[in-house]
Structure formats: C-alpha cells, structure tokens
Structure 1
C-alpha cells in the first residue's frame, strides 16, 4: 500500500505530463495554468488509495484520478467567476488573468477533458464509473447552487447546511473513493462503504474548515481568519449562534451582521466573542467528530486488510487535525 505522499507525487507527475493542443491558446493555456497552481490533490489521491486497497496495480487508476482533479479544478474556475474572486492559491484567477469569457469556455473544455480521462478504464466498468461520476458532478453543482441560494435567504437551518456541504464538498470525495475501489476490483458493497467513508469525512472536513476560519492561526490557515464572519456566510457556526442567541446577545449578533466599517477586525472579534459565549465552537467540534466517527465505522466494515485500511484512517486524521 503506497503512502499518501507517494500518491500525491504520482498525481503531480501526471499533471505535469499532461499535454493540450497549442491552439487556440486562450482555450488551453488557462487549463495548464490552473492545474499547475498546485493544491493537495486529496481527491485524486483518495481514488488511488481506494484502488490500492484492492489491487497492487494502481496505474490503471491514474487517468481517472487525474479526471477527478481536472473536474475539481473546473468547478474552481467557474466558482471563481461566480464569486468574482481575484486570487486562487495566491495567483490571479483565470477570469482576471484572461477574461470571463475565456474562463467560462476553458472551464467547459476541462469538463470534457475530465470525462475523456474518466472513460479510460476497463470496458466492462465504463458505464458504472461514468454513472457514479455523473451523479457526483450533478451533486457538486446542486451544492454550489444551494450555497448561492443561502446568500439571499434569511433563515437556513443546520440540516440544510449539512446537506449543502455534503453535496458541494463531500460527494466528490465519496465518488472518488467509490470509483477507485471499483477500478481496483472491489465488490459493490465495499465500494459503497468507501463512498460513505468519503462522504462523512468530507462533511467533517468542511465543518473543521468552518472552525479554522474563526479560530485558526492566520499564519498557518493560509487565508484570512474571520472571512466567513465578514461576509456573513451562513456556516454551521453562524447558523447555530443565531438559533441559540436570545435577548441582548441576539440583538448584538444581529447588529454585527448588519455592520460594515473600515476596521473589519472589530466585527470579527465581536462575533467571535458571541460564539464563545454560546459555546458554538464546541458544538461544531462535536458535530465534526460525529461525522468523522461515521466515516471510520464505514471504513471498518470494508473487506480489506486492516494494515491497508490504516492508510485511509491516517488520511482521515490528517484532514481533521490540519491547521490549514
């Protein structure tokens, strides 16, 4: 069983060796540009890990793993347009470096390229793999739409939020694991258990991200701490706070949600103090661990060697103790 780091290097090498047509430059250069910006390659690495659970030959899973990463970056390219984001991993986003039309069309090609890569599996499982990929892709788009819808509605509950992050974030990790398992020759039961492992882990991962956004170390987190507070983003933290706050505490929270000023640090500090009084961080950590435990229970039921499954367990721990 290969380590996570070894699998990430395999993906990085596959990305660096990928070649696209030279013309039209505006269509293909943005793909190479975005793919080479880096990233942890967690989704394609998880696909390779799942394959490796059942087969020593992971070479047959490299193209589909690359397809997962291309698809993920396609969603980032289009998300950046929707968010009008100026930077991606510290570099200009595609629509800022070129223009919005280029980013839309180049992103469309990335989706096609993802399908071309995903089809490079054994003939007898193509339909099955594409079916999973289709369901995953639609789920991600549904999650993104729900997230955008949340911006214009006043009330969102925890259940709705968990379902949104399940679709936007978690189903891609679950889908990658399920696809990798089937390429490796697993049973449908084991593939589905790995999907459950990935989906629950993905939800826990996003809840941990919510916590880090408020309580993370700015130097380690890699982006502005308190960004969700400043944008009034309806995360688990804010939704829970609004459900729990009463009286003056509720009035104070609502005041800060309506507040804009030159020094955003005041708002971050004030809302964080409200979270502290309400114990929202503890609630988020408890919810995160609930989904993490569901993930591990699913993994334990997978019919694979315990020593091999330990790599996936460590992968889960890495995601949930990270500081960035």
Structure 2
C-alpha cells in the first residue's frame, strides 16, 4: 500500500507540473477572439496520459526534469490540437463534458486554434538536448503525417460499409497509436535512451495505442454517460467504423448481417435500439473478441515493460498503464 501511495503521489505531482506548465505558457492577449478559445481548449483537463508517458520515459532514461517537462507540455498541446480539429471533422458537440471549441465559437475559430497550438509545439522542444533536436523534430513531423493519414483514412470509412478489421487497425495505428509512441520516444530522446531502447518505447506505444483505442470502442457502448463525458453509443449510432463494427461486418454469416450493414453502418440506428445492438454484439461474440484484443495488447505492453531499466519511474509507469487497463471512462 505504501508503494502504491508513493506512485500515485508521483503521478499527481507530474500531472500538476503539466497543468502548471500549460497555465504558464506565454500566449498573446489580442485578438481575444483567438486567445480566449485557445486558453479554453488547454483548460479542458483530461487524464494527461501522453505527457505522463513522456515524463516517466524521460525519468527512466535520466532526463533533466525541465527538458522532459517542456516535451510533456508540447505533447499535450499537440494532442489538444488534434482534438480541436478532430471534433470539427466528427461534428462533436462535447468533449470531456464541455462544449467543443467549434460549438462554443465556430468552425473557423476552431481551425485557427488548432493551427496555433500546432505552431507553438516546436518552440517548446527547441531548448533542451540540442544534439537530439533533429530526431525530436523528425518524430513530430512523422506524428503530424501519421495523424493526417489516419484522419483521411477515417474520413474515407464514412462512405463505406465494407471496412475490414485490418484497415481499421491501420487507421488507429496512425491516428491514435503514433502519438502515444511519440510521447514515449520524446521522453527517451530527452533522456539517454539508446536506439534499442527507443525501439522498445516505440513498440510499447504501438501496443498501448491499439489497446487504448479498442478499449475506447468498447467504452463508447458500455461506459456511464456521466463519466464518459459524451453520449454513450455515439459511435454506433453515427455508423462510425470501430473495432466492434468492422468485426461484425466481416462476419457475413451473422444472422443480422444485413441489419448491421444497411442500418447501423449507414448511421441509421435509432437511440432506442442501442441496447439491442450491444446485446447482439455480445451474443455473436464480438464484445468478447474486443475484450480479448485489449487483453492481448496490454499483455504485450507488460512484456515490453520488463525490458526497461528497473527503477522507481518504471514502477510508476507500470502503475499508470495498469490503471489505464482498468479504466471505465
């Protein structure tokens, strides 16, 4: 219990450091029509998973706190940029229980907010570990590229009802997994991680990304609305391609296949039938398949964790990942 309390205290302190760092970033005051929504987007506190990954990976490999903290703040700002633009494209009204930027203001403002957030990220990365700055910036460029590729693939899925599970996994590897990999790799680069150790962090981020997104797909149907911060069942009602929907669409022998294809995948599922969709996913084994996929990838994460140096930060990272595995929202 004492060790658990110690790791929880470390996570709280690191999260507070990120929050303080975000609050202290020098932003302009004018025009207020730009900077007010920028601040609003950064005040929308999430779990801070990505900056925590950066800080803990940095600690594992001996990074100076100031440099790793700059990278952690940068990764959270980058992540916020992705959310602001993603909400526009997904036409989402809420995020973490608050109005999205484009809903509270308008789409044009939200686009500019995202652009500004992306634009200030490199300046936060530029002042520590100058000898590794090219690698750090290349990793950011790759993250932007992967994100855009993943988003375009996701948009293309909107007009299809034949998306395979493999196509879906490729999309989430780019759209979700790559930034988790980047979060860990930046921490390693601000420390003294070798190429082999960076490869471990990269693979860890890959499996974490898959586990996290498939878990999200499950929670969209099973989470409590108050905790989830957005309407439960939103993905399946809109016909959004998820691990669950692509899996059931591959099962052409499913007795309800035509209903899944022509009603659910077409975005025509009424709110009153969400519970029925969940029950059908359970009865045909898709929920179990998704749960097993989450377990598989978290077990891969656990195996890779055992390849990292033994230290307090590794133990804290292990606790963070364990908490993610058990999350309900």
TM-score, normalised with respect to structure 2: 0.91
1:57 aligned onto 2:64: yes
Pair 1:95–1:301, CA change in 2 (3 A): same
SS of equivalent to 2:26: coil
Counterpart in the other structure of 1:322: 327
Compared CA separation, residues 79 and 253, structure 1 to 2 (3 A): closer
**What is the distance in 1 between the residues matched to 2:231 and 2:40?**
24
What SS class does the counterpart of residue 10 from structure 1 fall into? helix
Distance 1:66 1:312 in 2: 18
Deviation at 1:65, TM superposition (A): 1.1
Q: Is the counterpart of residue 277 in structure 1 residue 283 in structure 2?
A: yes
92 and 252 in structure 1: CA distance in 2 versus 1, 3 angstrom threshold: closer
The question of whether the paired residues in 1 share the 8 Å contact of 2:237 and 2:267 is answered with no
Partner of 2:255: 248
Relative to the length of structure 1, the TM-score reads: 0.92
* Counterpart selection for 1:298 from 296, 301, 304: 304
Deviations 1:57-106 (A, max 9, x none): 32221112111111111111111222232223333322233322222222
Q: Which residue of 2 aligns with 1:312?
A: 317
Q: Alignment partner for residue 23 of structure 2, among 16, 21, 25?
A: 16
Distance 1:24 1:217, change over 3 A: closer
Contact 1:64/1:119 (8 A) holds in 2: no
CA 1:35–1:138 in structure 2 vs 1: closer, same or farther (change >3 Å)? same
Match of 1:109 in 2: 116
Q: Distance in 1 between matches of 2:42 and 2:102?
A: 15
The count of corresponding residues between Structure 1 and Structure 2 is 321
Q: Structure 1 CA distance, aligned partners of 2:192 and 2:232?
A: 43
Q: 1:192 to 1:94 in 2, by over 3 A?
A: same
Deviations 1:143-195 (A, max 9, x none): 11111111112211111111111111111011111110121112121122112
Identify the residue that residue 157 of structure 1 maps to in structure 2: 164
Q: Distance in 2 between matches of 1:256 and 1:29?
A: 41
Q: Report if the CA contact (8 A) 1:200-1:294 is conserved.
A: yes
Q: Distance in 1 between matches of 2:43 and 2:173?
A: 27
Greater mean deviation of Cα atoms: 172-181 or 97-106: 97-106
Structure 1 residue 255: Cα displacement: 5.2
Aligned-residue offset at 1:131? 1.0
Distance 1:209 1:62, change over 3 A: same
Query: How far apart in 1 are the matches of 2:328 and 2:67?
Result: 33
* Partner Cα distance (2:139, 2:52) in 1: 18
Assess if the C-alpha contact under 8 Å between 2:64 and 2:190 holds in 1: no
Q: Deviations over 1:223-259 (max 9, x none)?
A: 3222222111111111111222526332343454257
- 1:189-209, Cα deviation, whole Å (9 max, x unpaired): 112211211221111011111
Change (3 A) 1:109 1:253: closer
Which residue is 1:119 aligned to?
126
1:133-282 matched pairs, under 5 angstroms? 133-246=140-253, 248-254=255-261, 256-257=263-264, 260=268, 264-265=271-272, 267-282=273-288
Equivalent pair of 1:143/1:168 in contact (CA under 8 Å): yes
Q: 1:213, 1:99 → 2: CA distance?
A: 26
User: Partners in 2 of 1:44 and 1:103 — Cα distance?
Assistant: 23
**Displacement of 1:221 after TM fit?**
3.0
Counterpart-to-counterpart distance in 2, 1:82 and 1:305: 43
The 1:273/1:97 distance shift into structure 2, 3 A limit, reads closer
Name structure 1 gaps, 5 residues minimum. Answer: none
